[in-house]
């Protein structure tokens, strides 16, 4: 008996694989469009409980979206102005950091294998930096500025329209995915996914703010310059699992080599790693684990995939995307018992 192309399982699987590969290629090639759009959706989901509360006060949905976007924009601008002096000072200290690294390697050369190769590499890097500064030129800035402006426009535009029409989007997707008997259940899963992501980020934000204050306080106790900015950096980088803390530890190590001598150079990094370890091993599992329990291997695989796809931005959206997908497939399970109480009229 001949099978029609629509019922042949091998053909259907092959078409699904090819469609997935085509989608992956599109996401990679159109990163400047899809990455800010995905971030806009995630941010919109995070702020959805606040948007619902403002709507209950009688504010129009469009006005709520505009207010949230304006507040977010000014918060980013204020953070940039706050960090700008310290960033400029850090850039000016790059030659000093290079000198201290070379000095450190020379002093502890007996503990490092292949020190000659390391010094040759550093010498080549320094020569290259002397021939042409590693800092972006005005031409580079003019080339990158339109790309950044375009991504910002896509992000804020996507965020506005998602906040404005997110319930219509959920309803449309639920009707396309299911039939008349399963539409309500699928819509319940969208509601459960939105609630879980918003709750996750609210909890993580509180944890990261506490970590930022703890890091700033610990670095102040040992006399680390610009300790408040390091606290802000610790709070922000902690949103990107694994990669963020590693970058933070490396930065503190480099600045410790400049600010201190001897073994005290490792003190800033040690303070941060101690606090980060306490947060990762006790605080976060105790607070986040009550609501969301995901296999750590799955989190690691998701993080690696999104980092490969979109870089640091992918690291930000990795965990929320994983939570949403698990809810839609009802793996976490809250979608089965959570009524769509937040469903739009």
For the residues of 81-138, what is the DSSP string, one character each?
A: HHHHHHHHHHHHTHHHHHHHHHHHHHHTGGGSTTHHHHHHHHHHHHHHHHHS-SS--H
Least confident of 9-18, 142-151, 179-188, 277-286: 142-151
Predicted TM-score of the model (pTM): 0.74
Q: How confident is the model at residue 107 (pLDDT cuts 50, 70, 90)?
A: low
d(C-alpha 192, C-alpha 327), whole Å: 7
Q: Average pLDDT for residues 49-55, to the nearest whole number?
A: 89
Asked whether residue 131 carries a pLDDT value surpassing 70, the answer given is no
Cβ-contact 192, 335 below 8 angstroms:
yes
d(C-alpha 256, C-alpha 179), whole Å: 61
Give per-residue pLDDT as tens, 175-207: 887 777 778 888 888 888 888 888 888 889 999
Non-local CB neighbours of 197 within 8 Å, separated by 6+ positions: 42, 45, 46, 320, 323, 324
Which pLDDT value is given to residue 330? 66
**Long-range CB pairs of 28-34, under 8 A, 24+ apart, other chains included:** 28/309, 31/309, 31/310, 32/147, 32/150, 32/151, 32/154, 33/154
């Amino acid at each position: 008996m001949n099978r029609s192309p629509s019922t042949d399982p091998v053909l259907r699987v092959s078409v699904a694989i090819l469609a997935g590969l085509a989608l992956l290629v599109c996401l990679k090639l159109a990163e400047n469009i899809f990455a800010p759009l995905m971030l806009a959706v995630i941010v919109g989901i995070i702020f959805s409980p606040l948007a619902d509360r403002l709507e209950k006060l009688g504010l129009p949905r469009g006005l709520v979206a505009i207010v949230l976007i304006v507040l977010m924009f000014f918060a980013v601008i204020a953070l940039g102005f706050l960090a700008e002096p310290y960033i400029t000072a850090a850039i000016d200290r790059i030659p000093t950091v290079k000198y201290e690294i070379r000095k450190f390697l020379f002093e502890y050369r007996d503990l490092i294998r292949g020190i000659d190769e390391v010094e040759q590499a550093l010498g080549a890097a320094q020569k290259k930096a002397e021939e042409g500064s590693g800092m972006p030129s005005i031409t580079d800035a003019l080339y990158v500025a339109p790309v950044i402006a375009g991504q910002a426009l896509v992000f804020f535009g996507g965020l506005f329209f998602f906040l404005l029409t997110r319930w219509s989007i959920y309803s449309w997707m639920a009707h396309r995915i299911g039939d008349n008997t399963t539409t309500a259940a699928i819509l319940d899963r969208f509601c459960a996914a939105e609630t879980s992501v918003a709750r996750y980020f609210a909890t993580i934000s509180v944890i990261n703010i506490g970590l930022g204050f703890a890091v700033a306080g610990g670095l102040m106790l040992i006399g680390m310059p610009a300790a408040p900015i390091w606290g802000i950096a610790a709070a922000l980088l902690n949103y990107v699992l694994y990669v963020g803390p590693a970058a933070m530890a490396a930065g503190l190590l480099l600045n410790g080599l400049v600010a201190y001598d001897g073994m005290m150079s490792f003190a800033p990094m040690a303070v941060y790693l101690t606090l980060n370890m306490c947060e990762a091993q006790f605080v976060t599992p105790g607070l986040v684990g009550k609501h969301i329990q995901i296999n750590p291997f799955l989190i690691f695989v998701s993080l690696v995939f999104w980092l490969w796809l979109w870089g640091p931005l992918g690291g930000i959206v990795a965990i929320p995307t994983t939570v949403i997908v698990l809810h839609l497939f009802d793996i976490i399970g809250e979608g089965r018992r959570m009524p769509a109480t937040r469903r739009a009229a």
